[in-house]
Amino acid sequence: MIRHHRIEARFVTEVPRDLDSGVLYISTEYGTAVHRCCCGCGQEVVTPLTPTDWKLSTHGNTVSLWPSVGNWNLPCRSHYVIRRNRVIEAGPWTQGRIESEIRRDKAAKASYYSQQAAGDASAGAQSTSHDGAQVPEIAGGWLARLLRWLFG
Ligand SMILES: [Zn+2]
């Protein structure tokens, strides 16, 4: 069940310690979005905004987050889609679906970052941007925590 059917986007530099329910905190600086689980359980849900995690799009005053938010690592196991500030309940996750999602995520990250590495190598010493360097760390940390939870 979903208790918050609408979520308000709030652009912030730093995500506050105390989060309001029904608010999606978006930090473009840190490339991440955080909100309290829309089922009403209040758990913090972090959705990194990276090319292999979530994608945020804005339409006027409303925001959408894709793909769906699947909180299968939380006790509530809620699953919903945020589309134009509306929270749309999605189907429950099955174990098979979770496993295939983990495989997809791993494969997407592996192929994305190997392409990045190949690109960096060919760009050689001319590359002055180190922005990309912190992304695998964030994504890796998130994924590692999840995998530990699931299989540890
Ligand atoms: Zn929840």
Q: What is the pLDDT of residue 53?
A: 94
For the entire predicted model, the pTM comes to 0.68
Q: How confident is the model at residue 78 (pLDDT cuts 50, 70, 90)?
A: very high
In the chain, where the domains are located: 8-89, 95-122+132-151
Q: How far is CA 82 from CA 35, 37, 55, 132, 139, in A?
A: 11, 12, 11, 26, 21
Are 43 and 58 spatial neighbours (Cβ–Cβ below 8 Å)? no
pLDDT digits (tens, 9 = 90+) for 36-76: 999 999 999 999 999 999 999 999 889 999 999 988 889 99
Q: How confident is the model at residue 10 (pLDDT cuts 50, 70, 90)?
A: very high
CA of 89 to the centre of ligand 1 (A): 12
Q: How confident is the model at residue 121 (pLDDT cuts 50, 70, 90)?
A: low
CA of 109 to the centre of ligand 1 (A): 26
CA of 28 to the centre of ligand 1 (A): 24
Are 101 and 70 spatial neighbours (Cβ–Cβ below 8 Å)? yes
